[in-house]
Chains A and B, each alone.
Chain A
């Protein structure tokens, strides 16, 4: 186009194109904004459809049920007939006559009623006139007279009203009589249809009817606002908004367990959402994610770049539990409970500081005297690769080479030489230990079997009675112990572990010298200590240069984090602090040279724990050792580490009873430290050793569920400090753990907290016991009735037969047992301790009396209380006795002459103490 025609150039095509583009864009904008980026609308419609379909199906099913039900059909038929009956013929005529009479009667009544009301208001008016006249000091007779007239009229009218009412009522009654059958049938029918009615209402509630059409409910954003849940960078409280339920419409409704997400019901809905209502807690405090986002699932779940709290998947969600619950050993939090336990007990805290886990005792053995214990060659091999000697040891593998291992072993031997020598000097080798004496070894093996060693230790390679997670033993496997430790040490250790290591978890089993010698002889046969020249190796290792090098290595690798080593008491943890490791941003994680590992927090951490030196480069050395944990164990630890967040949950959202939580956490730590659950079932956990007593569970360690409600706290405390034999038939022995006062207190409070008992102290006022009841109880316990002493010991008075057939000493009851528990126990022992040898004397599941009729009027419950009262009067605790050992050479007490009141006659009883059954007060 020439320059001359420039102004004639038409831009219409450009404008048209622009208009078209803008129009298209505008349409797209509206579509995208209202539909594409509001997926919750679609989901809510779908869910509505699902609900409506289900509700309608239920209606149809119920309708069909009614149609098929013969009862219902009969009622319908009868009703129809009855109705028909009231329509035609005589009855019909009678009804129409009654109806017209009723109408007339109503008119009469209404008239009378109206007149009455009129009169009443007239009376009001008259009163006013009267009082006004009075006030004006005017003659009141006129008004008064008028008033009286009206009153009379009122009375008359009231009579008229009553009469009209009566007549009307009579007519109505007659009518009702005729219809009574119909009415009862109608009522029946309505009752039968009530279910259908409800279901139909359900459907109605779900739809919006518009003329002949039904529309599902209009989608709406559903949100939960948690006030002051978050804090911004200036520590100001912010509200948190969770809109998850806008798409997850079925999450809090039963019945959608098999639906697809986002409609699926929350797994274990009653457990999780019952205790943490959605209205109070929302979703993101546990699941994380981007609560306010609703534009797409990825955004809502926080799976977008730069959102710091992406939603957890699978079991990882349990990382949220520990933010509010101090104690996570609860139903529904098993993964994080395991993770926490592993973190504490496998020894992570030895190198890594974590807030709240800084004060735990050192997880590794006491090394201040170890030169007196171990074989030097063994020590070198152990340091080099512990897993070769003991595959399931907690000690990790540092991948030392031979020279490093020798250096470290040398240092350890050198540093423990002084205290080791002192210890050896005061602990001479005992005579009488002989691993070649087959009888002695057999006796030792039998003791190891029966005393309870297997509650913690495996005694053969591969035996693991007490596992930590999947792959670690809580206590060392002794299958090859002879290669490691010398028998002199073993003997003194078994007799008194704390004499060697003041921090030992191993308890004393109160062994006699003979028992200890037999056990040591047996232990000496476990393993093959071949070709070890301890003395020569020691000479070599204790070379000064070697020792110095070893010291440097021990400092570098932070051995003092787990072990008590002389000279290294003040060493600090060598690992990174992990208090807020869960919040660590991806940018701060160093992947080294590994390009094959996906860039997520989870992958980094998993691989780090699985292969600790995986991110090493030529310039960057890593010293973390290899723990050889299974995949499940590492996943559990990951959940725990993910829970180490910077953001803390506000106090208002945490569990209210912090004291109880703390008691549970503290107590459980002590219990796990000493592995009580290796023998005992506590809170439905543990008790692995009971598998050996499946034939007769009462021969195994007692189950401690409900112990907090059972025993008195002060007795429990003193028992833990100094155990005494309680159950004479048991061969397995409760060891003396030597718990500190603090530890004993924590254990007692733990059991009390489990039962929800705030103040676990019981005071028994023996003076307040009713003498009648005590006497009745004594009678019931006598040989004429329940004959308790056939099995139960009472102080010095022992039952017949060998100890295997005895039951606990009833004289302990008043100091040991809670009176309320005694009642529950007698009522149904099997409920409290299934498999117990104590039989049930009563059966409270039905009303039939089980006790004798002539005691306390045959009232079972009163009899139980009488027994309890009687027991509370019995004597005091036996003194801490010598260990009870089944000794076949012991003479049995002579058979007691069972007199009518159950007391022993003096000449046959071997009781030196006088009768301790006295009624006081």
Chain B
């Protein structure tokens, strides 16, 4: 019998579990000498579906500027999938996180970028460039789910996340808005561009498992060996479920 606690837990803070249970190997970031890179593409198998047009039905003055399309599955002319997240799953030592803040902007009632990479423990800056009420509502199992309002006078708010996870973000005021936060514990995460291409640089030599995540098509992994100074090629082909 389902009871309230089970539902609440999936949306509530699991502080103790987050601190104790995840036996995350702490990542050591530093200088990488003689590293290689991994370059590749993520392709869609089959006929590319059309992008759904979103129904902008609120605050049209600000939001209904131009047509808005869904980014759930964006497949380019040559079959490349955009907005897929490619990462190495089993790396514990490598390059340091790049300097700079992670920024998520709400502009024109959409999330820019669609997926933003946020290192664990670091602060994500959430901007409201629209001058109207938005809210950040995240859905998360491992991190605490948040639902924070960002009225127009609050141009920036900050939020941080403790556990690596793909966190969905929506706005309750504007139901069509959706974005993702890639909360990561090491910097070898990259998002494919409109051609579906990606590149991971400064990878220390070794054998790794490389994973691709796409919100509709799920995950897929492959093995890759990186030699120092060389470029390894990886291609993913994802099909509709």
Collect the chain A residues with CB atoms within 8 Å of residue B172's CB: 791, 805, 837-839
- Pick the interface stretch among A203-211, A248-256, A607-615, A796-804: A796-804
One digit per residue, 1 when the CB lies within 8 angstroms of any chain A CB and 0 when it does not, for chain B 130-170 equals 00110111000000011111011110000000000000000
Report if A841 contacts B (CB, 8 A).
yes
Do the beta carbons of B152 and A787 come within 8 Å of each other? Answer: yes
Evaluate whether A697 and B7 lie within 8 angstroms (CB atoms) in the complex, with A786-B133, A804-B175, A840-B148 already known.
yes
Give the distance in Å from the alpha carbon of A836 to the alpha carbon of B135 in the complex: 12
Q: List residues of chain B with CB within 8 A of the CB of A684.
A: 3-5
Q: Quote the shortest CB–CB distance from A786 to chain B (angstroms).
A: 5
User: Which residue in chain B gives the minimum CB-CB distance to A681?
Assistant: B4
Q: How far is the CA of A587 from the CA of B161 in the complex (A)?
A: 67
Q: Is A687 an interface residue (CB 8 A)?
A: yes
CA distance A840 to B146 in the complex (A): 9
Say which one of B14-22, B52-60, B100-108 lies at the interface with A.
B52-60
A681 to B1, CA, bound (A): 12
Query: Residues 783-816 of chain A: 1 if any B CB is under 8 Å from the residue's CB, otherwise 0?
Result: 1111100110000000111101100000000000
- Say how far A832's CB is from chain B's closest CB, in angstroms: 11
- Please measure, in the bound complex, the distance between the C-alpha atom of A697 and the C-alpha atom of B139, giving whole angstroms: 11
Whether a CB of chain A sits under 8 angstroms from the CB of B65 is no
Residue of B147, B151, B152 with most partner-chain A CB within 10 A:
B151
* B148 nearest CB across to chain A (Å): 5
Please measure, in the bound complex, the distance between the C-alpha atom of A684 and the C-alpha atom of B6, giving whole angstroms.
10
B147 touches A838 (CB 8 A): yes
Q: With a CB–CB cut-off of 8 A, which chain B residues contact A785? A: 151-153
B137 proximity list for chain A (CB < 8 A): 837, 839
The reply to whether B3 and A840 form a contact with Cβ atoms under 8 Å apart is no
Considering the complex, give the chain B residue whose CB is closest to the CB of A786. B151
Which secondary structure dominates chain A's binding surface? loop
Contact B147 A837 (CB under 8 A): yes
**Chain A residues with CB below 8 A from B57, complex form:** 800-802, 805, 892
A835 touches B152 (CB 8 A): no
Instruction: For A784, list chain B residues within 8 Å (CB).
Output: 152-153
C-alpha spacing A791/B134, complex, angstroms:
11
**Count of residues in B whose CB is under 8 Å from the partner chain:** 33
B8 lies within 8 A of chain A by Cβ: yes
Query: Which one, B2, B11, B60, B133, contacts A787 given CB within 8 A?
Result: B133
B162 to A: closest C-beta gap in Å: 15
Stretch at the interface among A40-48, A238-246, A688-696: A688-696
Q: A800 contacts which chain B residues (CB < 8 A)? A: 57-60
> CA–CA, A805 to B58, complex, Å?
9
Given the interface contacts A787-B132, A791-B173, A805-B58, does A840 sit within 8 Å of B149 by beta carbon?
Answer: yes
Q: A801-B57, A805-B57 are in contact. Are A690 and B147 (CB under 8 A)?
A: no
B125 within 8 A of A: no
Question: In the complex, what residues of B have CB within 8 A of residue A685's CB?
Answer: 3-4
Whether B175 and A805, one on each chain, are in contact in the complex, defined by CB atoms closer than 8 angstroms, is yes
Complex Cα distance A690/B57, Å?
Answer: 28
User: Does residue A686 face the partner (Cβ distance < 8 Å to B)?
Assistant: yes
Enumerate chain A residues within 8 angstroms of B136, measured Cβ to Cβ.
839
Answer yes or no: A354 CB below 8 A from chain B CBs: no
Task: Tell me the minimal C-beta distance from A51 to chain B in angstroms.
Answer: 31
**Cross-chain contact B4 with A840 (CB below 8 angstroms):** no
- Which residues from 820 to 837 on chain A have a C-beta closer than 8 Å to any C-beta of chain B? 829-830, 834-837
B12 at the interface (CB under 8 A from A): yes
- Asked if B147 and A839 make an inter-chain contact with CB atoms under 8 angstroms apart, the answer reads yes
Interface centre among A691, A839, A852 (most CB of B within 10 A): A839
Tell me the nearest residue of chain B to A836, going by C-beta. Answer: B147
A703 at the interface (CB under 8 A from B): yes
Query: Whole-angstrom distance between the alpha carbons of A830 and B136 in the complex?
Result: 13
Which residues from A are CB-within-8-Å of B61? 895
Q: Is the CB of A829 within 8 A of B173?
A: no
A496 an interface residue at 8 Å Cβ cutoff? no
CA distance A467 to B151 in the complex (A): 45
Complexed CA–CA distance, A830 and B7 (Å)? 13
Interface flag for A486 (CB, 8 Å)? no
Q: Is A501 an interface residue (CB 8 A)?
A: no
Interface residues of A in 892-913 (CB under 8 A from B): 892, 895
Q: Is the CB of A690 within 8 A of B7?
A: yes
Closest to B8 in A: A834
Nearest-neighbor residue (CB-CB) of A897 within chain B: B61
Query: Would you call A705 an interface residue if the criterion is a C-beta within 8 Å of the partner chain's C-beta atoms?
Result: yes
Who on chain A is nearest to B6 by CB? A691
Asked whether A829 and B147 contact (CB < 8 A) given A805-B57, A834-B11, the answer is yes
Q: A467: which B residues are within 8 A, CB to CB?
A: 1
A684 to B61, CA, bound (A): 43
CB pair B7 A839 closer than 8 Å: no
In Å, the complex CA distance between A847 and B115 comes to 31
Q: When A791-B173, A839-B137, A840-B147 are in contact, do A694 and B3 touch as well, CB less than 8 Å?
A: no
Residues A787 and B3 in contact in the complex (CB < 8 Å), given A697-B11, A837-B172: no
Residues of B within 8 A of A892 (CB): 57
Is B173 within 8 A of A790, CB to CB?
yes
CA separation between A805 and B137, bound complex, in Å? 14
CB <8 Å contact, A790 and B135: no
**Binary CB contact string for chain A from 420 to 446 against chain B (1 if under 8 A, 0 otherwise):** 000000000000000000000000000
Determine the chain B residues whose CB is within 8 A of the CB of A790 once the complex forms. Answer: 58-59, 132-133, 173
Using Cβ atoms and an 8 Å threshold, which residues of chain B touch A804? Answer: 175
Q: What's the Cα separation between A703 and B7 when bound, in Å?
A: 11
Contacts of B175 in A (CB 8 A): 801, 804-805
* B61 to chain A: closest residue by CB: A895
Closest to A799 in B: B58
Q: Which residues of A contact B133 (CB under 8 A)?
A: 783, 786-787, 790
B151 — which chain A residues lie within 8 A by C-beta?
A: 785-787, 841
B169 nearest CB across to chain A (Å): 12
Chain A residues 760 to 801 lying within 8 A of chain B, measured CB to CB, are: 783-787, 790-791, 799-801
Residues of B171-219 at the interface with A, using a CB-CB cut-off of 8 Å, are: 172-175
Known: A790-B173, A841-B151. A835 touches B132 (CB 8 A): no
A697, closest chain B residue (CB): B7
Partner of B149, one of A681, A786, A834, A895: A786
Set of chain A residues within 8 Å of B4, measured between Cβ atoms: 681, 684-687, 703, 705
- Indicate whether A852 sits within 8 Å of B12 (C-beta atoms), given known contacts A839-B135, A840-B147: no
Q: Which of A687, A783, A838, A843 contacts B2 (CB 8 A)?
A: A687
Is there contact, CB below 8 Å, between B58 and A839? no
How many angstroms from the CA of A684 to the CA of B174 in the assembled complex?
Answer: 31
Set A681, A799, A837: member contacting B3, Cβ < 8 A:
A681
A766 CB to closest chain B CB (Å) equals 27
Q: In angstroms, how far is the closest chain B Cβ from the Cβ of A707?
A: 13
Per a CB cutoff under 8 Å, which of B3, B11, B153 touches A835? B11
CA gap between A691 and B7 in the complex, in Å: 8
Shortest Cβ-Cβ A-B pairs, 8 listed:
A839-B135, A839-B149, A787-B133, A681-B4, A801-B57, A837-B172, A801-B58, A800-B58
Interface of B with A (CB < 8 Å)?
Answer: 1-5, 7-8, 10-12, 57-61, 132-133, 135-137, 145-149, 151-154, 172-175
A contact residues vs B (CB 8 Å cutoff): 467, 681, 684-688, 690-691, 694, 697, 703, 705, 783-787, 790-791, 799-802, 804-805, 829-830, 834-841, 843, 850, 852, 892, 895
A-B pairs with beta carbons under 8 Å apart, 28 shown:
A467-B1, A684-B3, A684-B4, A685-B3, A686-B4, A687-B2, A687-B3, A688-B1, A690-B2, A703-B4, A705-B4, A787-B133, A787-B152, A790-B59, A790-B132, A791-B173, A805-B172, A805-B175, A829-B147, A834-B11, A835-B7, A835-B11, A835-B145, A837-B137, A837-B172, A839-B148, A840-B149, A841-B149
Add 11 more A-B contacts to A687-B2, A787-B132 (CB < 8 A). A685-B4, A686-B1, A687-B3, A703-B4, A783-B152, A791-B172, A799-B58, A835-B145, A836-B147, A837-B137, A838-B147
